[in-house]
Chain A
Amino acid sequence: MLKVDGIDTYYGLGHILHSVSLTVKRGEIVCLLGRNGAGKTTTMRSIMGLTPPRRGSILFKGEPILGVKPFRISRKGIGFVPDSREVFADLSIEENLEISERRFEGRVFWDREKAYELFPALKKICSRKAGCLSGGERQMLTIARALATNPDFLLLDEPTEGLAPLVVAMLVEKIAELRSFGLTVLLAEQNQKVALGLSDRAYIIDNGAIRWHGAVGELRENEAVRKKYLLV
């Protein structure tokens, strides 16, 4: 469904990603593991077109999306959940979802109501300003907002970072639920436990390059790799 092939991404003069390649098949949850500053967020932003790579290619459902503007990439069916939990702080929860809602021609699976069904807690406080929400609520809103755009592929950038264990457990449950709705997910995580519990396959990124990839089971067995790239 998504095929990233040898992308090189720069921030100004800084060469951040070095020939990163990864593939995600339809229906899979794939995680991208790595330490802080390894290049997870840059990879996500490169796919979304927010920090376009200078070289390489990205195919989504067989179509090239490198160089395409982010709003068009979103309309092709990629939902983006940023790592900074950036909500539209000045708008209420309802308004956040309203402006993101996008009804394509053809099949509409996700919309505002469906997003509320997944997070009933948001529905109860839907008139509250997004700027006044707790970390967990904000994260629910960023996921709900991405879902309101009616995606079939979700880029989830560190959804559990810095949240309380109870909230993390709830989010993990919801992300697992997304798969049952047919969503494909690329999940960037530092939290191994969360990532390995949810995913089918894993990629490990370090210093802007993919160092290892394989099934989650293999990674669990392979202590050497985990120690080398993931231990802080």
Chain B
Amino acid sequence: MHPAIHLTLVSLIQQVLVGLGKTTTLFIVSSGLTLVLGVLRIPNISHGALYMVGAFLAYSITRMLGGGAAGFFASLLLAPLAVAFLSLLAERFLLSRLYERDHLMLLLFTFALALIFDDLVKIVWGSGYRSLPLPAMFQGSFSFLGLALPRYSLFLLCVGPLVAIGLWFLINRTKIGKISRAAAVHREMVGAVGINVGWVFAAVFMIGCFLAGLGGALVAPTQSISQGMDASIIIEAFLIVIMGGLGNVWGALLGSLIFGLTDSLGVLILPQFSIVFPYAAVIVVLLLRPSGLLKSAW
């Protein structure tokens, strides 16, 4: 094989892998957003802030537990759980009182929540940057047939499908999933068959926010953890959700794949304009399918 072609093929495979790693975090975050959007009908603007809280918590938990692999794995579980608990409090004490109100009220309220969580992060962690090293086992690359595959991307590639399968099981096989699917279409009727919709909403909101926290914990060792990381993810997550079809978890998966892969492959084509590619992909998708790729729950 011509060395130049070989080089392109190698970088292509590597970039695909990196893109799939990015897809994983995008999918985890946007699936949580779309779940809440589909069932509670709330565009949760504070989702990005909860992702940031998850990243900061992962930083602190990993540090507290010595910074090794054990700390990292513990943070993957504990940080999202803490975020879920925080969201449960917000839902039970504040959000649940607003369901009867106008849609705009809910939207404004989640915006307020985002600001509150932002400030909470500032109070607890200050406004500086934090960074967390990858655990030793995930540093460097894994050589395979002459390819250098980043280990952490491979790890993310295992986590993504696990979360997707877990979500599939939750939505299709558990009672709460079935009730959520019913509530997404006929909320009123769910109450009329004797189901306490309030608690279903609380559970779904908590699961959605758990996913935001998990996304934050997963990216914590790969980028600088800082104020403002919520703004970029919430834009990306909303674009993915819109592209995939509002409220559709599999749409979020498709959207994340498109977004993640165009992002990483764009670097190979036009490195100086690579940031444009995922957004251009969103525009193309919406021009062809204005209501999203898969069936929207709205």
Contact = CB atoms under 8 A, between A and B. Distances in A.
B188 A100 contact: no
B192 interface: yes
B182 interface: yes
A71 B186 contact: no
B181 interface: yes
B185 interface: yes
A48 B251 CA distance: 36
Interface-centre pick from A50, A90, A146 (highest chain B CB count, 10 A): A90
A50 B179 CA distance: 19
B184 interface: yes
Given A82-B189, A95-B178, A90 B184 contact: yes
Contacts of A96: 182
B194 A71 contact: yes
Given A98-B175, A98-B178, A99-B179, A90 B185 contact: yes
Interface residues of B, number: 18
Contact of A74 (B181, B182, B185, B192): B192
B98 interface: no
B181 A71 contact: no
B182 A149 contact: no
Contact of A88 (B175, B189, B194, B197): B189
A86 to B, nearest CB: 5
A70 B193 CA distance: 8
A220 interface: no
Interface string A76-88: 0000101000111
Q: How large is the interface on A (under 10, 10 to 19, 20 to 34, 35 or more residues)?
A: 20 to 34
Contacts of A98: 175, 178
B192 A48 contact: yes
Contacts of A50: 188, 191-192
A148 B182 CA distance: 16
Given A88-B186, A91-B178, A91-B181, A102 B194 contact: yes
Interface string A121-150: 000000000000000000000000110110
A89 interface: yes
B109 to A, nearest CB: 22
Interface-centre pick from B182, B193, B194, B196 (highest chain A CB count, 10 A): B194
B182 A145 contact: no
A74 B191 contact: yes
B276 interface: no
A99 B195 contact: yes
Interface string A145-158: 11011000000000
Contacts of A89: 185
A100 B181 contact: no
Contact of B194 (A82, A86, A90, A149): A149
A75 interface: yes
15 contacts: A50-B192, A70-B191, A71-B195, A74-B191, A74-B192, A87-B186, A91-B178, A91-B181, A91-B182, A95-B178, A99-B178, A99-B193, A102-B194, A145-B193, A149-B194
Interface of B: 175, 178-179, 181-182, 184-186, 188-197
Closest 6 CB pairs of A and B: A74-B194, A88-B182, A100-B193, A70-B191, A80-B192, A71-B191
